[in-house]
A and B are shown apart, each in its own frame.
Chain A
Amino acid sequence: MRLRSFLDAMLRRSRLERRMDAEIRFHLESYRDDLMRQGVPRDEAMRRARLEFGGIGTSKEQCREARGLRWPSEVSQDVRYGLRSLRKSPGFTAVALLTLALGIGANTAIFSVLRAVVLRPLPYPDPARLVIIREQDTHGNSFSVTWPDFVDWRGQSRSFAAMAAYSPARLLLTGVERPALLNAAHVSASYFPLLGVKAELGRTFVSAEDSAGAGFVTVLSDALWRSAFGADPGIVGRTVVLSGSAYAVIGVVEPYLSRGGPVDAYLPVGLRAGDPSFNNRGAHGSMHVLARLVPGTSFGGARASLDTVMARLEKQFPASNAGHRTYMVPLTDSMTGELRRVFYVLLAAVSLVLLIACVNVANLLLARAADRQKEIAVRASLGASRGRIARQMMVESLLLAMAGGVAGVACGAALLGPLIHFAPQQIPRLDTVRIDPGVLAFSLAISLATGVLFGLAPALQVMRTDGNGALKEGSRNSTGSRSRSRLRAGLIVTEVMFATVLLTASMLLLRSLGAALAVDPGFRAGHLAALDVTLLGAKYEPAAAGHQFLAEASRELAAIPGVEAVGAAACPPLQKDCGDYWYEVPGRTHFTPGNADDSLFNIVGSGYFAAIGATVLQGREFNSSDITGAPPVAIINETLARKWWPRDSPVGWQVKFGGPGEKGPLYEIVGVVRDVNREGLDAPPEPEIFLAAAQARVGRLAFLVRSSLSPLEVVSLARRVLHRLDKDLAVRSAVVTQTMSQSLAERKFTTALLAAFGALALTLAGVGIFGVIAYQAAQQTHEIGIRKALGARTSDIVGMYSRRAAVLVMSGTLLGVLCSLASSRLLATMLFGVKPWDWLTLAAAVSILTALGLAAGYIPARRAGRLDAMAALRQE
């Protein structure tokens, strides 16, 4: 089919050409005959006829143009010509294709991840109208919502089509082959319909189950149904034991993307609604609110309507709600906000790499255009218009770009595997990354854009070149070549500028990673294994049962041969999402409405700090006498101590658990410890208050075991010990040094990518500078010969070209530094321990590029300097 239409076009075209020839021949012969009638000899008459007609080729070309028939036939001509000319210079084509494939490939890979992870709408119905709502104080600190506030919001605001409560919990599944610790959640009946999640078996919750009196029922996730119950089709109606209580399974929900990681089982929120603490307006637990805006309601309008409700509640319940307003964020932002920034920075970086690649290809094309000047001049004198030649150049560039695009997509597909493999696995939707039609469209678009971009320079050069001049003088010293040199120099400056920006960014990130790795975590992580258990169910209902388990487990773990120390904490180092709550220091903290101080709260056993190797700065740590009945005691970390006791010692002061309006138990501060890293190595320290485990209710406990054994060995021995104490215990284990390195997974990933892009940019810039200087020297062989003949020394010539390279590199780096400074805000949030305008990094980036640029310029400069005068003059 395509061949047929192609043949048609060719045949029709040749018929048109034949007729045009016949018409012009008729003209010339008629004129000749007329001249012969006037007595001019035949040969002379024909000569005059041709002469007066003028350029036959040009005339024919203009005729074709006038008929508007140029496109289909001529473009295919251009394409064939272009392919031929690319094939004729395989070296140039290979270098250009490789450059483009790397640039387009990197862009394709990064874009496909960005698209799947960030850009694609969340997999919920109408996701743009979903929001997360929290409460917030006057300082802008946001915290979880209380159940009574949620009930009032839902009842009094008209801006929301639906509102759902979600409160995470941990449950122990027993009565199955392997007891398992489940990630569970109490949810309101509206939760699943809000996200468009359906029950694949049975049902989800009904609104009656939102209030006190809800039955002991549970909805399982598809994953748990398969893993723990072998996908039993008769699961609905079966009874499962969760944390010691029996629940009837009422349904299984289909798999879906849940915020904050997968959930195994759901309980109706009504099971907690009767709980007095749950009904306390001042006791903020861990409840999230998810809501869907009514169509046509603006984000701001919805928030304002909730704030009206909150203002009313503030008047009504000043003790718990003073100064509280709402905090609202689109669900999409809350799930992908941080990743969006990271991926936009990465995309910006790969775009710079692509621009640098473009500049290099443009430079190659310009050099080639110079070599082809005679070919172009010949074509021009044979009747090709400049526009036609420029178009021919453009077609060639686009051909190159499309081939580069195909190679780039292949390259991107090849890069995608390792990219996903090394990406931090907590990134949601990573498993959906594909090179799909959308990604292909993106790659096609950037290929075309790069083709136009790098093809523009040589095409414009052609438009400006004087064809006759080129034919007469050869290319040397013509104005075209001089302006081409200027253009190429400008391109190199741009390229060096981009490379400086990229190099600065990647070095800033490298320094941040270095700083994060060098952070003192506040404890000795080596040879430390963590075994995480949760004490749940009726068995542990009396607090003393938990204390007894803690004491026995600590003793028996310490008795394992090879174990040096054992410590226990509710929230071990580097464990994220520990509970925080309000606190007050009577006599020190000053309460202002809507501005309560909050701190992390942790529960640790006696001897914990010694076991993990954290330093006690003042006072003492918990010991075996800090038990129920003894005076309640607390230890605070140095960040908290510095905040309220910058000059004196907190030891002996009291701290209250709970904010203003809460009676909260009081604890006497007995010690201050060094900050122990909490949210990850690159997170800033936060205030933390430690309570004694033997004076608190223990639920979740992590045993930190230091030993000379291998991590695997100690974990399996410790597991056995813990299961001997309680066979239903679900134990999760981790090696602390690994947790520590995982806390930097995302930083390492981003840094590695940016460093790779920086290195690529550096290489391309080096190649570019080398190319330009080498080309200039080659163009000026004659001039060098004259200079040498007139007595210039080798060092003079080397100096001349090196100076040129230096000027290009210096201008480029200077502009690059300015651009880096201007765009520093983009990177600021990704940095750690280094300022975006860190002069040392900027100086290092400039030095590296300058050194590289000078080296890349020196090689061709030296070659030019060593030219033999006579040989140089004789050339051409």
Chain B
Amino acid sequence: MKKETKPVDLLQGTLDMLILKAVSLGPLHGYGVLVRIQQISKDALRIQQGSLYPALYRLEHQGLIASEWGESENKRKAKFYRLTDAGKKRLRAEQEKWGRFSAAVAGILSTEA
């Protein structure tokens, strides 16, 4: 029997980083961001859909992403988000920070007691 892994809740503060990563691969609308994160993580992460938009608005307000209205794949009007230069810089910084952080935590956790 195939063992099913339960999706885990996001760590506090990681949603912003995931959104930045998702839109760094090309402009996406809100729903697209959700779908892409879930695709990449192979459904391992659970995102509160209601908290996605406040996060998008916040990032846009901070100038890390920009938005414009365009047409979706099913020919509907949708708001597309793309990464700005400031966003690219922030994403690199966050990735590096995350790398160090997770390596450190993994190091501690893998130590044999």
Contact at B30–A26, with CB atoms within 8 Å?
Answer: yes
A54 nearest CB neighbor, chain B only: B50
Tell me the minimal C-beta distance from A21 to chain B in angstroms.
11
Question: B58 to chain A: which residues have CB within 8 Å?
Answer: 66
Interface size of A by CB at 8 A reads 26
Instruction: Specify which of B35, B50, B51, B79 is in contact with A23 (CB 8 Å cutoff).
Output: B79
Given A26-B31, A34-B35: 5 more A-B contacts, CB < 8 Å: A19-B69, A24-B53, A55-B50, A62-B51, A66-B58
- Residues in chain A near residue B48, CB distance under 8 A: 54
Q: How far is the CA of A460 from the CA of B38 in the complex (A)?
A: 41
Which residues of A, 14-41, contact B by the 8 Å Cβ criterion? 19-20, 22-24, 26-27, 29-31, 33-34
Say yes or no: is A577 at the interface (Cβ < 8 Å to chain B).
Answer: no
- Asked whether B2 is an interface residue with its Cβ less than 8 Å from the other chain, the reply is no
| B73-98 CB contacts (< 8 Å) to partner A | 74, 76-79
Is there an interface contact between A27 and B49, defined as CB atoms closer than 8 Å? yes
Q: How far is the CB of A24 from chain B (nearest CB, A)?
A: 7
Find chain A residues with CB under 8 A from B21 CB.
none
List residues 26-77 of chain B with CB under 8 A from any CB of chain A: 29-31, 34-35, 48-51, 53-55, 57-58, 60-61, 69, 72, 74, 76-77
Q: Which residue of B lies closest to A51 (CB)?
A: B49
Complex Cα–Cα for A63 and B48 (A): 14
Interface residues of A (CB under 8 A from B): 19-20, 22-24, 26-27, 29-31, 33-34, 52-56, 58-60, 62-63, 65-68
The 9 closest A-B pairs by CB, nearest first: A54-B50, A62-B54, A66-B57, A66-B58, A59-B50, A30-B31, A63-B57, A53-B49, A27-B31
Nearest-Cβ distance from residue B14 to partner chain A, whole angstroms:
17
List, in ascending order, chain B residues with CB within 8 A of A54's CB: 48-51
Q: B53 touches which one: A30, A34, A59, A68 (CB < 8 A)? A: A59
Determine the distance from Cα of A639 to Cα of B108 in the docked complex, in whole angstroms. 94
Residues A56 and B50 in contact in the complex (CB < 8 Å), given A26-B29, A27-B31: yes
Complex contact A23–B49 (CB within 8 A): no
Chain A proximity of B74: nearest CB distance (Å)? 7
A67–B57 Cα gap in the complex (Å)?
A: 6
Contacts of A67 in B (CB 8 A): 57, 60-61
Considering the complex, give the chain B residue whose CB is closest to the CB of A19: B79
The answer to whether B30 touches A66, judged by C-beta atoms less than 8 angstroms apart, is no
A59→B54 contact, CB < 8 A: yes
Q: Classify chain B: how many residues form its interface, as a range.
A: 20 to 34
A620 to B59, CA, bound (A): 103
B32 to chain A, nearest CB (A): 8
| Chain B residues, CB < 8 A from A55 | 50
A-B pairs with beta carbons under 8 Å apart, 9 shown:
A20-B53, A26-B29, A26-B72, A26-B76, A27-B53, A53-B50, A63-B54, A66-B54, A67-B57
Complex-state Cα separation, A58 to B49, whole angstroms: 12
Give Cα A327–Cα B77 distance, bound, in whole angstroms. Answer: 88
* Known A-B contacts A23-B30, A31-B31; A59 and B79 likewise in contact (beta carbons under 8 Å): no
Return the chain B residue nearest A58 by Cβ: B50
Q: Kindly state the separation between the CA atoms of A19 and B60 in the bound complex, as whole angstroms.
A: 15
Interface centre among B34, B48, B57, B61, by most chain A C-beta atoms within 10 angstroms, is B57
A residues near B76, Cβ cutoff 8 Å: 26, 29
Q: Are A52 and B49 in contact (CB under 8 A)?
A: yes
What residues of B have a CB within 8 angstroms of the CB of A27 in the complex? 29-31, 34, 49, 53
Kindly list chain A residues whose C-beta atoms are within 8 Å of the C-beta of B54: 59, 62-63, 65-66
CB distance from B71 to the nearest CB of A (A): 11
Contacts of A26 in B (CB 8 A): 29-31, 72, 76-79
**CA distance in complex: A56, B35 (Å):** 19
A241 CB to nearest chain B CB (Å): 87
Name the residue among A22, A23, A55 with the largest chain B CB count within 10 angstroms. Answer: A23
A53 surroundings in chain B (CB, below 8 A):
49-50
Cβ of B38 to closest chain A Cβ, rounded Å: 11
A29 to B58, CA, bound (A): 23
The distance in angstroms between the C-alpha atoms of A62 and B78, with both chains bound, is 20
Q: How far is the CA of A169 from the CA of B48 in the complex (A)?
A: 92
A29 to B77 alpha-carbon distance, docked (Å)? 12
Q: What is the minimal beta-carbon distance from A456 to any residue of chain B, in angstroms?
A: 29
A58-B54 Cα distance, complex, nearest whole Å = 10
Chain B hits for A29, CB < 8 A: 76
Considering the chains assembled together, what is the distance between the CA atoms of A68 and B57 in angstroms?
10
* Nearest B residue (CB) for A57: B50
Task: Name the B residues within 8 Å of A20 (CB-CB).
Answer: 53
**Which chain A residues lie closer than 8 Å to B72 at the CB level?**
26, 30
**In whole Å, how far is A236's beta carbon from the nearest beta carbon of chain B?**
77
Instruction: Determine the distance from Cα of A65 to Cα of B57 in the docked complex, in whole angstroms.
Output: 9
* Closest beta carbon of chain B to A533's beta carbon, Å: 87
- Of B31, B48, B76, B78, the most chain A CB neighbours within 10 A belong to B31
Give the chain A neighbours of B49 by CB distance below 8 A: 27, 31, 52-54
> Closest residue of chain A to B33, judged by CB?
A27
- How distant is the Cα of A29 from the Cα of B76 in the complex, in angstroms? 11
In the complex, what's the smallest C-beta–C-beta distance from B59 to chain A, in angstroms? Answer: 9
Complexed CA–CA distance, A405 and B69 (Å): 49
Nearest Cβ on chain A to B77's Cβ, whole angstroms: 7
The answer on a CB contact under 8 Å between A23 and B61 is no
CB distance from B69 to the nearest CB of A (A): 8
Closest to A31 in B: B31
Closest Cβ of chain B: how far from A20's Cβ, in Å? 8
A66 near B61 (CB under 8 angstroms)? yes
Q: How far is the CA of A400 from the CA of B100 in the complex (A)?
A: 55
Closest to B73 in A: A30
Q: Which residue of B lies closest to A34 (CB)?
A: B35
Residue on A with the closest CB to B50? Answer: A54
Most B CB contacts (10 A, CB to CB) among A31, A54, A63 go to: A63
CA distance A60 to B58 in the complex (A): 12
CB-defined contacts of A31 to chain B, threshold 8 Å: 31, 49
- State in angstroms the CA–CA spacing of A813 and B9 once bound together: 57
Which residues of A lie under 8 Å from residue B35 when comparing CB positions?
34
A107 to B50, CA, bound (A): 51
The CA of A53 and the CA of B51, in the complex, are separated in Å by: 8
Chain B residue contacts of A33, Cβ below 8 A: 74
Give the CA-CA distance A60 to B56 in the complex, in Å.
12
| A interface footprint on B8-32 (CB within 8 Å = 1, 0 otherwise) | 0000000000000000000001110
Q: Which residues of A contact B31 (CB under 8 A)?
A: 26-27, 30-31
| Residues of chain A within 8 A of B77, CB atoms compared | 22, 26
Docked CA distance A24–B72 (Å): 14
Cα–Cα distance between A33 and B75 once the two chains are bound (Å): 13
Query: Is the pair B74, A23 in contact by a Cβ cutoff of 8 Å?
Result: no
Q: How far is the CB of B42 from chain A (nearest CB, A)?
A: 17
Name the B residues within 8 Å of A58 (CB-CB): 50
Q: How far is the CA of A23 from the CA of B49 in the complex (A)?
A: 13
Closest chain-A Cβ to B47's Cβ sits at a distance in Å of 10
Residue among B29, B54, B61 with the most chain A CB within 10 A?
A: B54
